[in-house]
Structure 1
Amino acid sequence: MFDIDGIYNSQNDLIWAVNLLAADTNGGIRQKRKFPQKVMVWFAVWSKGVSPLVIFEDGTVDHDRYIKEVLPVALKFGHDTFGADWTFQQDGVKPHIHVKSQEWCEKHFPCFIDKDHWSPSSPDLNPLDYCIWDEIAHQVHWDAVTSKTTLINEMKRAVRKVSLDVVFESCSSWTNRLYRLSQVKGNYLR
C-alpha cells in the first residue's frame, strides 16, 4: 500500500537532532493527511526482473479480486517467462491463503507452495519484503506525487527504474536466507 504522503514508518524512521528545527531540516517533521489517497500495488520478482504491475486504485483486495485481477497476471507472466517449469510463491495474507485462492493456484500453476508449506509471516524469505519494496519507495519522486494519478505514474516509473542488479542480488540471497532461517529455527533474521 502506498499513499500520496510518501513512505513514513514512525516505528523505524527516527531523526536524532538537537531541536525541532534541526529535525525538520533533516526531513524529520512530516505532515500527514488524515485520509491520504492510497493505491495498492502487486507484482512479482524473479532473479532477472519483475512482472507487470497490478494497481488497485480503489478499495481493498479480497480473495475474489485477487483471483480475478492478480493470479491471471502471475500465471501469464510465469508461463511467458519460464514456460511450464516454475513455482509460484506467495505470502500469508488473507486473499492468498483463502481456500478459493489456494484451489485456483493448485489448478492453474505448474507448481506452487501452498499455505500449509510456507510460513504465514515470512518477510525474511520474500525478496519484495526484505529488499524490493524499499528500492521502489526510494525510486519514487515523492515531491511529484500530489494525487492518486501522479502516485500511480510514479509507481510505474519507479518499478522500471529498479536496478536489475538489486533484483538479482535480493533473489540470489534467498537460498542463504532460507538456510539461515532454518538455523535460527524460524526466528527473524538479524
Structure 2
Amino acid sequence: MCGDEFLDFVENILLEIRINMHFQQDGAPPHNSRAVSDYLNQIFPNKWIGTHGPIRWTPRSPDSTPMDYFLWGYLKDKVYQTSLTDLEELKNRIGNECEALNVQLLRSVTIRELLHRAQYCLE
C-alpha cells in the first residue's frame, strides 16, 4: 500500500477511532527510512510503534506467533542442554523435541502471550 492509498484508508476510519488509534510498523529495513518515519509522524503524531518510532519496538520482534515468541527459544534451550557432537545429532534432537512438544503447553503459552501482548498494545 503506497502513501496515498494508506492515507485514503486512514481517512475512512471513524474520527473517534482514529483519535485513540496507534499504528504498529513492522521491522522491515525499507520501512525504517527517514521518509517513512516522517510520514508516520505526520499521520500518527507520537502514536506509532516501530523500530525508530516514538513508541519503540525492536526490529523483528517476536510479536505475533508462538513460533516467534516461544518455540524457537524453547527448542534451543532443550536441544543445547548438553554439547552436541555432530550435525546428525543436532537434527535428531530437534526432531525428538518437536515430537515431544505438549499441545497443552503451546495452547497455554499462546493464550498467555497473546493477552500479554494485547495488553501492552493497549497501554
Higher relative contact order (CA 8 A, sep 6+): 1
TM over 0.5: no
- Structure 1-normalised TM-score? 0.30
Over alpha carbons, which structure has the higher Rg? Answer: 2
